[in-house]
Chains A and B, each alone.
Chain A
Amino acid sequence: AQTVTQSQPEMSVQEAETVTLSCTYDTSESDYYLFWYKQPPSRQMILVIRQEAYKQQNATENRFSVNFQKAAKSFSLKISDSQLGDAAMYFCAYRSAMGRRALTFGSGTRLQVQP
Chain B
Amino acid sequence: GAGVSQTPSNKVTEKGKYVELRCDPISGHTALYWYRQSLGQGPEFLIYFQGTGAADDSGLPNDRFFAVRPEGSVSTLKIQRTERGDSAVYLCASSSILLRTTLMGRTSGTANEQFFGPGTRLTVL
Contacts and interface: CB of A to CB of B under 8 A. Distances in A.
A26 to B, nearest CB: 15
B89 interface: yes
Contact of B117 (A44, A95, A100, A106): A44
B55 interface: yes
Interface stretch (B36-44, B61-69, B70-78): B36-44
A91 B59 contact: no
Given A54-B103, A97-B108, A103 B114 contact: yes
Interface string A87-115: 00001010101101111111110000000
Nearest to A43: B119
Interface of B: 31, 33, 35, 40-45, 48, 55-56, 59, 89, 91, 93, 102-104, 106, 108-109, 111, 113-114, 116-119, 121
Interface stretch (A11-19, A45-53, A65-73): A45-53
A33 interface: yes
A52 B111 contact: yes
B102 A54 contact: yes
B56 A103 contact: no
Interface in A12-57: 31, 33, 35, 42-47, 50, 52, 54
A91 B118 contact: no
B45 A91 contact: no
A11 B108 CA distance: 36
Given A98-B106, A102-B45, A107-B41, 5 more contacts: A6-B42, A43-B91, A52-B111, A102-B56, A108-B42
Contacts of B116: 44-46
A103 B94 CA distance: 12
A15 B89 CA distance: 30
A102 B59 contact: yes
A105 B40 CA distance: 12
Nearest to B50: A101
